Amino acid sequence: MRINQVGIVGAGALGLLLGERLVKTLGPEGVQFIADESRCRRYEQTGFQVNGQALRIPCVSAPRGKYLDLILFAVKSYDLPSALELIRPFVGPETILMSLLNGISSEEIIGEALGAEKVLYTVGQGMDATRVGQTLNYTVPGFWRLGEADGTESERLQAVVALYDQAGIAFEVCPDIRYQLWSKLMLNTGVNQTLAVLGGSYRVIHENQNDSRRIMRQAMEEVRKLAALEGVTIPEAEIDVWFRIVDSLGPDQQPSMLQDVEAGRQTEVELFAGTIRRLGARHGVATPINDWFYEEILKKSPPHSEGFGSRGLTD
């Protein structure tokens, strides 16, 4: 199995971050954004800038011929249902589907819609990419963890490994990918929401402004305790690992949730605090920090649909 044709749905920070590397490797004939016609026209007219360099990737609203080998979901959680319908014509029997979304639910939702056998798990960490308008800037590209749900090294996993190697995308193959998803959820629940509520760049965490490090740690502890009740044991030392990673990020960069708050957009609070609140209710565990995050972030952003965040967590 070899990956020659890649589709990316979503041209946010992560879509552009990977698109930049992939188009340099596969060329414009091997990478395409997938979007509706009006969005494609806008992408084609304006293009993008990544760290001051022009980036142009073709955009299509209908297949250009054969099915794609790999499709990356780089949308926000609330756009996932429409993204699933948009990419259906591009999905063939051998297409690999990978979600770059935060949280622990998107892979299940994609699998239910398009086939669980097509879904390969991935989670990114350590990047500080910030998109403003059509411009993306980053100082740390981060790296990706890849894995099958059952921990095996399949042919399709090896195909993605070969592509990432060729493109110079840093990665690690993880047989415990479910653990990695929970660990990343723990980070996002802590740092993204702390800064969304307190405001400011990563410098706020670096300098412990407004007691931010204590708040972030308490939020992450709530996730860690619930993960154990869901069968995933995360050692306390993992929190300190994430603090070291956050401390290495560009001090003037901001997480995407704060960018969404400042732009008046919907946020992914349902994926983070919403998920933890629902799991807390299921297990009878109090989640006071995430309750506070949830209420404060909803005050700052438009109303949210609970459909995505509640999938698989309310049974």
Instruction: State the CB neighbour count (10 A cutoff) for residue 168.
Output: 10
Instruction: Report the pLDDT averaged over residues 96-125.
Output: 93
What was the pLDDT predicted at 235? 97
With cut-offs at 50, 70 and 90, classify the pLDDT of residue 304.
Answer: low
How many domains does the structure of the chain reveal? Answer: 2
119 lies in which domain range? 6-175
With cut-offs at 50, 70 and 90, classify the pLDDT of residue 307.
Answer: very low
CATH number at residue 273: 1.10.1040.10
With cut-offs at 50, 70 and 90, classify the pLDDT of residue 310.
Answer: very low
Residue 226: phi and psi, rounded to 5, are -70, -35
75 domain residue, yes or no: yes
- The model's pTM: 0.81
Instruction: Tell me which of 55 and 302 has the higher pLDDT.
Output: 55
- Ranking 87-91, 165-169, 222-226, 307-311 by mean pLDDT, the lowest is 307-311
- Ranking 46-55, 133-142, 230-239, 278-287 by mean pLDDT, the lowest is 133-142
Instruction: Report the pLDDT averaged over residues 215-225.
Output: 98
118 and 200 in a single domain? The answer is no
21 and 169 in a single domain? The answer is yes
Tens-place pLDDT, residues 9-32? 999 999 999 999 999 999 999 999
What was the pLDDT predicted at 139? 87
What is d(CA 304, CA 295) in angstroms, rounded to the nearest whole number? 12
Contacts of 8 (CB under 8 A, 6+ apart): 15, 18, 19, 22, 31, 32, 33, 34, 57, 71, 72, 74
163 and 201 in a single domain? The answer is no
Tens-place pLDDT, residues 269-291? 988 999 999 999 999 999 999 99
Tens-place pLDDT, residues 19-76? 999 999 999 999 999 999 999 999 989 999 999 999 999 999 999 888 999 999 999 8
* pLDDT value at 97 more than 50: yes
Instruction: Report the pLDDT averaged over residues 87-105.
Output: 94
Average pLDDT score over the chain: 92
45 and 87 in a single domain? The answer is yes
What was the pLDDT predicted at 102? 85
The last residue of one of the domains, among 175, 196, 225, is: 175
Which strands form 119-125's sheet, in the order they lie side by side? 59-60, 31-34, 6-9, 70-73, 96-99, 119-125, 143-147, 171-173
Residue 94: phi and psi, rounded to 5, are -105, 5
What was the pLDDT predicted at 313? 32
What was the pLDDT predicted at 303? 67
Cβ distance 217 to 237 under 8 Å?
no
Beta strands in the chain (DSSP E): 6-9, 31-34, 48-50, 53-55, 59-60, 70-73, 96-99, 119-125, 130-132, 135-137, 143-147, 171-173
What is d(CA 106, CA 193) in angstroms, rounded to the nearest whole number? 20
What is d(CA 24, CA 160) in angstroms, rounded to the nearest whole number? 16
Instruction: List the structure tokens of 73.
Output: 């979901």
315 domain residue, yes or no: no
72 and 163 in a single domain? The answer is yes
Instruction: Report the pLDDT averaged over residues 108-128.
Output: 92
Strands 70-73 and 6-9 come out as: parallel
